[in-house]
Amino acid sequence: MSVFSMKNIDQDNNKDADKPLVMLVDDEIENINVLRQLLESHFQIITGLNGAEALKLIDNMVDPKQIQLIISDQRMPKVTGVEFLEQIVDKMPDTIRIILTGYSDTQVIIDAINKAKLYKFMTKPFDPVELSLTVQRGVEAFQMRRELIEYSTNLEKIVVERTQELNEKNEKLSEAIDALEKQSLTDQLTGIHNRHFLSKFMPQDVAKLDRELEQSPAEFEQIGLMMVDIDFFKQVNDNYGHDAGDKILIKFAHILVQTCRESDWVIRWGGEEFVIIARGLPKEGIENLAERICANVAESEFEMGLEKTLSITCSIGIASFPFIRKNHQLLTWQQTLNIADTALYMAKNNGRNTWVNLSEKNIKQPESFYRNIITDVKLSFECGDINIHHASSITHVEL
């Protein structure tokens, strides 16, 4: 005869399969039979005739954690009830453990309550009703604990999933914001920076320059501002249509970007007007850059479709910021750009396809200087406020 019985966990016995699994361990078969009779209508029963056998049975189970409750006799040969239960604490921490013991062993049991994680101990002879109720409550405690663990595991899983979802959404949002920001700073047609870009980043550059000026007023580099305008662009649009005009703008922007250094900013200011911000170049460097731009544009062929090409030119006005070196906060960068625009106007008046650079010479009345140069550049020049530098293509400057 087998020392333990598996008959009650027969897979075909569907009636029993739903019942909680309880293990009975006792070295006296009569005791096991009494307990079995008491419990088998509500529980699936497995049995062991001593601690060692019960351990072996547990070791052979696929999932011993499905044993919801164990009732073990204390006094058994080889392995006592407490020793047996102690050995399975780690393997089946949630299983409810009950010890049946005689009076003489109760102190041993009390000492072992924590170590063997006992749910309860009952002394023999036990009251059948009390034992049934104790087993019932023990199984309920086991099941409630299981549900709580399952609930908290699910909760953790949900939190992890939601956190991941949230992170993904945040990432997408931040990508969308980046894309939007880039879009808002980019000219749609040409793909270069737009006016908004300059308004956003120029103040940072100016602030940096202000700091440099405070640290070493003697040696600092002005920021070159160029206003670039395509000559007779209106005629292109009138004669060839706006699609052709757009093609020219795209190629023109490309030439500007190719001609400038990577650190320069090339901005579509609006229509056929472009602004270039060039840092770290001396006056001659900025003028050389303007010269190269004029040359590269004039030498390029602009395709108009249907194998037609067009030659275009551009004019450039230059002013450097701060315009007044000794009074660097008097004129804003926007006002300095307006002076570059005045220089552009002069380039247009002097044959186009050329550049003009306006710089300070000896400004007597700084406070009224800006108003004067914007309204009458000729007067500013004649009173010695400004220098006019220009391309060699201009032999005599018309003011």
Interface positions with Mg ion (CB under 5 A): 27, 73, 75
CB of 164 to Mg ion, least distance (A): 55
Nearer Cβ to Mg ion (42/75): 75
CB of 9 to Mg ion, least distance (A): 24
CB of 142 to Mg ion, least distance (A): 25
Nearer Cβ to Mg ion (20/51): 51
Residue 115 DSSP code: T
Concatenated DSSP letters of 353-387: SSEEEEEES--S-HHHHHHHHHH-HHHHHHTTSEE
Concatenated DSSP letters of 20-44: PEEEEE-S-HHHHHHHHHHHTTTSE
Nearer Cβ to Mg ion (54/226): 54
Residues forming a β-bridge with 356: 317, 390
CB of 34 to Mg ion, least distance (A): 13
Nearest partner of 344 among 378, 317, 324, 375, judged by Cα: 317
54 touches 82 (CB < 8 A): no
CB of 26 to Mg ion, least distance (A): 6
Q: Which two tokens stand for residue 149?
A: 């663990």
* CA-based R_g, the chain, Å: 46
Nearer Cβ to Mg ion (35/343): 35
Determine the 3-state secondary structure of 179 from DSSP. Answer: helix
Nearer Cβ to Mg ion (53/73): 73
Q: Which residue is nearest to Mg ion (CB)?
A: 75
CB of 20 to Mg ion, least distance (A): 25
Exposed/middle/buried for 366, CB within 10 Å: 0-12, 13-18, 19+? Answer: middle
CB of 28 to Mg ion, least distance (A): 6
The span from the CA of 209 to the CA of 201, in Å, is 13
Nearer Cβ to Mg ion (106/237): 106
Nearer Cβ to Mg ion (27/287): 27
